Amino acid sequence: MSAIGIENVFVSITSILEHIENANNNITNMMEKSSNVIVAEISEHHKEGFSSELSEAIQLQDIISQQLQAVSSAIGDMQKNIDVYLHSVRTDHSILNQGIIKLQEKMNIALEEAKRKHDAFSGSTSFTDQEASLEFF
């Protein structure tokens, strides 16, 4: 693959990652707004507090938010690594040839870290009729 071809692949991957990160940030912002509205409405109209179901729903939103933050972190790590190699494509082809394997290793590490965070941030909650477990990946 020529340097121009590799450069185009890296630029495309970076563009895709940026799009995913923007969508991820939009979802996170909407969830935060939704949670704030729910809490404000319940606080204003129900002085007795939150039901256990509502508390579980808010907890699920928090878990989802943590999952989305882990996705953003993994994307940021991947973008930094790709930027290093994109610079090499544009300036020093010998460094690029030596570094592609390192890029793959770093991307694998970023993936493993994302999976670790997924496991750490996974949660479960039980509703009255069923046991629900959140999986996000």
User: Is 126 strand, coil or helix?
Assistant: strand
Q: Residue 37: its pLDDT value, please?
A: 86
Q: Torsions phi, psi of 33, nearest 5?
A: -60, -45
* End-to-end Cα, the chain, rounded Å: 32
Q: Any residues with CB less than 8 A from the CB of 52 and at least 6 apart, and which? A: none
69, 28 contact by CB (below 8 A): yes
d(CA 105, CA 127): 41
CATH top class, domain 3-133: mainly alpha
Q: Using one digit for the tens of pLDDT, what is the confidence trace for 50-102?
A: 778 888 888 888 888 888 888 888 898 888 888 887 887 777 766 666 677 77
Annotated domain spans of the chain: 3-133
Taking only the tens place, the pLDDT of each residue in 33-47 is 888 888 888 777 777
